[in-house]
Structure 1
Amino acid sequence: MVQYYDYVLGVIPLVLVGLTALLTLAGLELTAAIPAGAGVAALIIGHALFINVPTHPTAESADTSQRVNTE
């Protein structure tokens, strides 16, 4: 099952390369397009690390997810 962080790891290189290429094709110099693409990729990484914080499952959530309905 694909989760949020799997999408983040896939989007980072796509944004870096895709946005850099798009800005270069739009007429921006490569030396300006690369930092712009890297900045957006850094914002995505920051969102994944600080806004949508990765958490470890607690003992309670792991225990309730393994229960089987015996009724």
Structure 2
Amino acid sequence: MTGYYDYVLGLIPVALIGVTAVLNLAGLSLSVAVPGGALVAGALIAHAMFVRAPAGVDIRSSPGGSQTSHSAD
């Protein structure tokens, strides 16, 4: 059964290579197209990490000011 994170892992290289190729074919130089593809791939990673965090991970601030991670079982 494939889930959200499986799709994200598959889309990272697709976004990096695909967006780079499209931007390059659109007339941008390769030195501009590669960072464009990397931005899209990075946005996918950031969405998976921060917007839709894995279930069971809860980050709370401890009284000492440092953050601790507690997983819900």
What TM-score does the superposition give when structure 2 sets the normalisation length?
0.76
Aligned mates of 2:72, 2:27 — CA distance in 1 = 51
The structure with the greater share of residues assigned to helix is 1
Q: How far has the Cα of 1:55 moved from its partner?
A: 2.0
Q: Which residue does 1:62 correspond to in 2?
A: none
Say whether 1:12 aligns with 2:12: yes
Q: How does 1:1-71 map to 2 (within 5 A)?
A: 1-56=1-56, 58-59=72-73
The structure with the greater share of residues assigned to strand is 2
**Residues 21-50 of structure 1, C-alpha deviations (whole Å, 9 max, x = no match):** 000011000000000000110010000000
Aligned mates of 2:17, 2:31 — CA distance in 1 = 13
Structure with the greater relative contact order (CA < 8 A, sep ≥ 6): 1 or 2? Answer: 1
Aligned length: 59
Aligned mates of 1:6, 1:38 — CA distance in 2 = 19
Aligned mates of 1:41, 1:14 — CA distance in 2 = 8
Q: How far has the Cα of 1:10 moved from its partner?
A: 0.2
Residue ranges of structure 1 left out of the alignment (5+ in a row): 60-71
